[in-house]
Amino acid sequence: MSLADGTRPRHVPDHLTSRGQRVIRSWETLLVGVAVLIFLANTWASPYFLDPWNLSDATFNFTEKAMIGFAMALLIISGEIDLSVAGIIALASTAMGYALQFGVGTPGLVLIGISVGVACGAFNGVLVTRLGLPSIVVTIGTMSLFRGIAYIVLGDQAYNGYPSSFAFLGQGYVFWVITFELVVFLVLAVIYGIVLHATNFGRQIYVIGNNPTAALFSGVRVQRIKMILFLLTGLMSGIAAVCLTARLGSTRPSIAYAWELEIVTMVVLGGVSILGGAGSILGVVLAALVMGMVTFGLGLLNVPGIVMSIFIGGLLIGVIALPRLITLIRKGQI
Amino acid sequence: MQLQSNAVTSDAQAVPVLELRGISKGFPGVKALDDVSLSLYPGQVTALIGENGAGKSTLVKVLTGIYRPDGGTIMVDGAETRFQTATDASDAGVTAIHQETVLFDELSVAENIFLGHAPRSRFGLMDWPRMRRDSRRILDRIGARIDPDVMLRDLGIASKHLVAIARALSVDARVVVMDEPTASLSQTEIEELYELVERLKAEGKAILFISHKFDEVFRIADRYTVFRDGQMVGAGLLADTSEDKLVELMVGRAMDQIFPDRTPELGDEVLRVDGYCHPTEFDDIGFGLRRGEILGFYGLVGAGRSEFMQALFGVTTPSAGTITLDGERIAVGSPADAIRKGIVYVPEDRGKQGAITALPIFQNVTLPSLGRISSRGFLQMAEEFRLARKYTERLDLRAAALDQNVGNLSGGNQQKVVIAKWLATMPKVIILDEPTKGIDVGSKAAVHEFMAELAAEGLSVIMVSSEIPEILGMSDRVIVMREGRIAARLDRAELSPERLVRAAAGIEEAA
């Protein structure tokens, strides 16, 4: 080596670009721009948008989905996916409603909802990590399985009559316009942000998503980490099921129908690579805000639901295509 | 040699099939090719020699129309041409066999050979009978005994390589570019490839042969061109030069000695492996390894060396056998176990198993040492950069920044990152599987020197290598494996190329 002949090793700097450049070029900056634009457009389009209570209501459009979105982001970064999350909500909510018939109180209901979520996550995780099945196939299967059980139990019935202490979890306010759900969302965002970006565990998630073989060869316990991520996704689906059931005050088997696609959309819009290996929690938070504001703003303008989904779909494609378009134009290929 | 050089001089006046004049190609921040020239003559093999990063791959991409040069001219049969696209180059009769040709596991051999230019029947459908017939003809021509109907995934790596060659020859080529064609072949297969090159020569094809191995360059090439840092630094007839001169041209300085001088001081036995067995890959492997020792593992490709090393590292589970480390029996159930105990493995397949190319250098280096750069599971960024810097500097890594992605580095520097990653774990035993495969001479010497340095510091090294000079130059002791078993154990004093080759091929020792 050059060290042997007494010369100093060449100096390699830590970073190629400055922190400022990295921030400006980031996906999150783009999302902040989009969020500001939508905020301004909403303020301009409807006089009711800038009301604190209305805005508070608007947060319900994303809080429950985003809770699952955080865990889903980790799972997708690791190269897996869970499409059964809405099915888990249906099954967890049905389990809570069933327990309600036997007079189980709020703490018991919460425990049951969360336990069912974790159990469903464990089921997915075992199928993927122990049997080595592809997660997209497994969770398409369990998506129908979990919701199917809810339909068998409930038929066209619904469970009602949740206690008022339970309702607080979905409808309660902690302070002024700040809802309990919003607090849960913010706390979870901080926790997930720290876990993904500042811990060994988070680092290993990125490594697995980028190259599972090299991860294994570097001593990363790939299957164990994936199992934990499926459990986490189940746990978050359970928590979301508690909040959503408490907010609606009833359980129907169609609860949270098709949420899995909205959650995956949120995660991808947040800049998480669907191929795994890249993404951030801040991106998911921003994507949640953007989607929440769009839904709420269009709702104020009495735009029907189907048009909203067209808008969200267009937004997703637009935001993802934009950076690619800029690159192509810069290269002079368009 | 005399005969060959006569033949070359006699038709040296011939018009080159393909000629590059003053070609330049730049990328942001780098001048990959700077005013280089190259002539390829019919019926001759020109060897292109240079370290990694010298511009060889860029040149191949210019030749095959993948890159458009910034300046210079390309002449085909003495007429100026432009290669705007890959199709232009292939129309001009240029075909290339790359280091890693893209083939498709789920298609048959015939489909792989004719992908993109399959013969069509009258109705525009695939003409299967003709495709099979033509595939068999091409495979016969290169002496490959492969059934065109077999799925590619059922073939071994060497056979896949032959399919890649057949694919390159399925177009009517006049210029064949071979980019390190022998890198993954065993000795017998390399011999077969040489025969193929001779046959192509006889057919009047112009061949550009890119290689790191001087013995094969001298064996099959007629001419040479040496690149250094994007410039052409020498060209001529091989008959007029020597290995030393070529190495000097390549590295720009005299290299009097390729392998480091070592006076090993062996300590106590660190590792002892007894009766390691696997149902299909290897059988009854046992040996001891002492502190400061470099133990070479030689054998043909497929002898079970890598498979055994991966079992030792806990990737696969052996069916029987024990490992004793520092006098203590240990169980290795996973790579994580092995790393914790102090056994680490630098894999042969750097891109898939070694480096995580889409992540930055520092994250690659600290990956197995995350416990040491964190407190209670939280990463300490300053610690992380400190650790990464310490080991990359020790290996004299050449990179723009520590947060640069490993994929942007040259092969030699990628290997340095992988080695740095393992040294950071402060192992007792390091297993290096083909540590200098596909890296340039400069990095190779650096890796060798570093290996010697590590052994001198008391690390025990196991080196798997298929290169005889490397085995001879580095090992204190050599184990030769053949068909999953130990075929010979040789001390440094008993080492000779003949003994290694005989043991690996299973030929009885001559009396």
DSSP symbols for B71-124: EEEEEETTEEE---SHHHHHHTTEEEE-TT----TTSBHHHHHHTTS--B-TTS
Q: What is the pLDDT of residue A202?
A: 96
Instruction: Scan residues 420-479 of B and list those with Cβ closer than 8 Å to A.
Output: 421, 446, 449-450, 453
If asked whether residues B39 and B162 sit together in one domain, one would say: no
| Residue at B187 is within a domain | yes
Task: Provide the domain count of chain B.
Answer: 3
| Beta-ladder partners of B108 | B151
If asked whether residues B8 and B71 sit together in one domain, one would say: yes
Q: Which of B377, B401, B446 sits opposite A16 (nearest CB)?
A: B401
Which residues touch A119 (CB under 8 Å, ≥6 apart)? Answer: A234
DSSP B155: S
Residue of A nearest to B352 (CA): A214
Query: In whole angstroms, what separates CA A190 from the centre of its chain?
Result: 13
How far is the alpha carbon of A250 from chain B, nearest alpha carbon, in Å?
41
Residue B283 contacts residue B277 (beta carbons within 8 Å): yes
Joined together, the tokens standing for residue B445 give 């010497």
End-to-end Cα distance, chain A: 48
Beta pairing class for B485-491 and B477-482: antiparallel
Q: What is the pLDDT of residue A144?
A: 96
If asked whether residues B118 and B224 sit together in one domain, one would say: no
| Residue at B149 is within a domain | yes
**Closest of B257, B239, B241, B261 to residue B249, by C-alpha:** B241
Q: Which residues of A touch B445 (CB under 8 A)?
A: none
Q: Which residues of A touch B347 (CB under 8 A)?
A: 217
If asked whether residues B212 and B320 sit together in one domain, one would say: no
How open is the CA angle A203-A208-A213, to the nearest 5 degrees? 135
The count of other CB atoms within 10 Å of the CB of residue B216 is: 18
If asked whether residues B161 and B276 sit together in one domain, one would say: no
Phi–psi pair at B198, nearest 5 degrees: -60, -40
Residue of B nearest to A207 (CA): B356
If asked whether residues B298 and B234 sit together in one domain, one would say: no
What does the pLDDT look like over A197-237, one tens digit per residue? Answer: 999 999 999 999 999 999 999 999 999 999 999 999 999 99
Residue B191's CATH number: 3.40.50.300
Q: What is the pLDDT of residue B215?
A: 78
| Residue at B398 is within a domain | no
Residue B175 contacts residue B40 (beta carbons within 8 Å): yes
Largest CA distance in chain B: 75
Question: pLDDT per position in chain B (511 positions), as tens?
Answer: 344 444 444 444 578 899 999 999 887 556 788 899 999 999 999 999 876 667 888 898 898 888 889 989 999 888 888 888 888 888 888 888 876 567 888 899 999 888 877 888 888 888 888 999 999 998 888 777 889 999 988 887 778 878 888 888 888 788 999 887 776 677 777 888 888 889 888 888 899 998 867 778 888 999 999 988 788 888 999 888 887 788 778 766 544 446 887 887 888 999 999 999 998 889 999 999 999 999 999 987 778 899 999 999 999 999 999 999 999 999 999 999 999 999 999 998 888 899 999 999 999 999 999 988 989 999 999 999 999 999 998 888 888 889 899 988 887 888 899 999 999 999 999 999 999 876 777 778 888 988 999 999 999 999 999 877 788 889 999 999 988 899 999 998 888 877 887 788 776 554 4
**Among B137, B171, B205, which residue terminates a domain?**
B171
Q: Which residues of B touch A220 (CB under 8 A)?
A: 336, 367
Q: What is the pLDDT of residue A8?
A: 58
| Residue at B509 is within a domain | no
| Residue at B399 is within a domain | no
CB-defined contacts A:B, below 8 A: 114
Cβ distance A217 to B377 less than 8 Å, yes or no, reads: no
How far is the alpha carbon of B399 from chain A, nearest alpha carbon, in Å?
6
DSSP for A47-93, please give it: TTTT-HHHHHHHGGGTHHHHHHHHHHHHHHHTT---TTHHHHHHHHH
Give me the domains of chain A, ranges plus CATH numbers: 27-42+51-327 (1.10.3470.10)
Q: Which residues of B touch A26 (CB under 8 A)?
A: none
> CB contact, 8 Å: B395 with chain A?
yes
CA atoms of B335 and B314, how far apart (whole Å): 5
Secondary structure of residue B141 in the 3-state scheme: helix
Cα–Cα distance list, A97 to A91, A109, B406 (Å): 10, 8, 53
If asked whether residues B438 and B459 sit together in one domain, one would say: yes
Q: Which domain holds residue B136?
A: 103-171
Cβ distance B394 to A16 less than 8 Å, yes or no, reads: no
Q: What is the pLDDT of residue B199?
A: 86
| Residue at B128 is within a domain | yes
If asked whether residues B59 and B179 sit together in one domain, one would say: yes
Q: What is the pLDDT of residue B21?
A: 92
Cβ distance A10 to B396 less than 8 Å, yes or no, reads: yes
Residue of A nearest to B380 (CA): A198
Q: Which of B345, B377, B393 sits opposite A9 (nearest CB)?
A: B393
If asked whether residues B88 and B180 sit together in one domain, one would say: yes
Mutate to test the interface with B, among A2, A11, A12, A221 (most CBs of B within 10 A): A12
ipTM value, please give it: 0.86
Secondary structure of residue B26 in the 3-state scheme: strand
Beta pairing class for B320-325 and B328-330: antiparallel
Cβ distance B315 to A216 less than 8 Å, yes or no, reads: yes
Residue of A nearest to B344 (CA): A218
Burial of B251 (0-12, 13-18, 19+ CB in 10 A): middle
Mutate to test the interface with A, among B315, B393, B449 (most CBs of A within 10 A): B393
How far is the alpha carbon of B456 from chain A, nearest alpha carbon, in Å?
13
If asked whether residues B112 and B33 sit together in one domain, one would say: no
How far is the alpha carbon of A321 from chain B, nearest alpha carbon, in Å?
21
If asked whether residues B197 and B315 sit together in one domain, one would say: no
| Length, in residues, of chain A | 334
Q: What is the pLDDT of residue B472?
A: 86
Cα–Cα distance list, B24 to A280, B67, B82, B232, B366 (Å): 41, 11, 14, 11, 39
pTM (predicted TM-score): 0.77
> CB contact, 8 Å: B356 with chain A?
yes
Q: Which of A14, A15, A217 sits opposite B345 (nearest CB)?
A: A217
Cβ distance B356 to A211 less than 8 Å, yes or no, reads: yes
Q: What is the pLDDT of residue B228?
A: 81
> CB contact, 8 Å: B58 with chain A?
no
| Residue at B382 is within a domain | no
- What strands, in cross-sheet order, belong to the sheet with B79-81? B30-40, B18-27, B71-76, B79-81
The count of other CB atoms within 10 Å of the CB of residue B381 is: 11
The count of other CB atoms within 10 Å of the CB of residue B252 is: 12
If asked whether residues B191 and B284 sit together in one domain, one would say: no
Secondary structure of residue B373 in the 3-state scheme: helix
Residue of B nearest to A195 (CA): B378
DSSP for A198-265, please give it: HBHHHHHHHHHHH-HHHHHHTT--HHHHHHHHHHHHHHHHHHHHHHHHHHHSSB-TTTTTTHHHHHHH
**Among B222, B251, B280, which residue terminates a domain?**
B251
| Residue at B391 is within a domain | no
**Among B130, B154, B171, which residue terminates a domain?**
B171
**Which residues of chain A, if any, have pLDDT below 70?**
1-10, 333-334
